[in-house]
Amino acid sequence: GNSVTQMEGPVTLSEEAFLTINCTYTATGYPSLFWYVQYPGEGLQLLLKATKADDKGSNKGFEATYRKETTSFHLEKGSVQVSDSAVYFCALRRDDKIIFGKGTRLHILP
């Protein structure tokens, strides 16, 4: 079946540290891949997406590359800020529905 696995949190980093949140997927065919972010008290916001192999999605300094050979879509940022503290969800789209990972809570310390 289709599923998304992402690293367990919480992840705690100091400001300006390098961030990686790992995400791998299982899917038939070629799904589109997404990262959504949920800031405290808010809903799900699209952070970035990639729709085919080797595509790189980027937004607000975050990047993720669609790797078909390793079925991965890891999220990276070179220098995190306190304002990046949130829950990050890796997801794939098959047909009508989006299938989410469990989410990774990120804490950034000043």
Partner 1 sequence: EPEVTQTPSHQVTQMGQEVILRCVPISNHLYFYWYRQILGQKVEFLVSFYNNEISEKSEIFDDQFSVERPDGSNFTLKIRSTKLEDSAMYFCASSEAGVRTDTQYFGPGTRLTVL
From candidates 1, 28, 40, 43, binder to partner 1 by CB under 8 A:
43
Tokens of 84: 């990046």
**65 near 3, Cβ under 8 Å?**
no
Task: Tell me the window of 11-19, 32-40, 64-72, 75-83 that interacts with partner 1 (CB under 8 A).
Answer: 32-40
Supply the Cα-derived Rg of the chain in whole angstroms. Answer: 13
From candidates 19, 31, 64, 86, binder to partner 1 by CB under 8 A:
31
Is 42 an interacting residue with respect to partner 1 (CB under 8 A)? Answer: yes
Q: Under rule CB under 8 A, which residues in 48-107 are in contact with partner 1? A: 49, 51, 89, 93-103
Task: Kindly list the residues in this chain that would bind partner 1 in the complex (CB under 8 A).
Answer: 30-32, 34, 36, 42-46, 49, 51, 89, 93-103
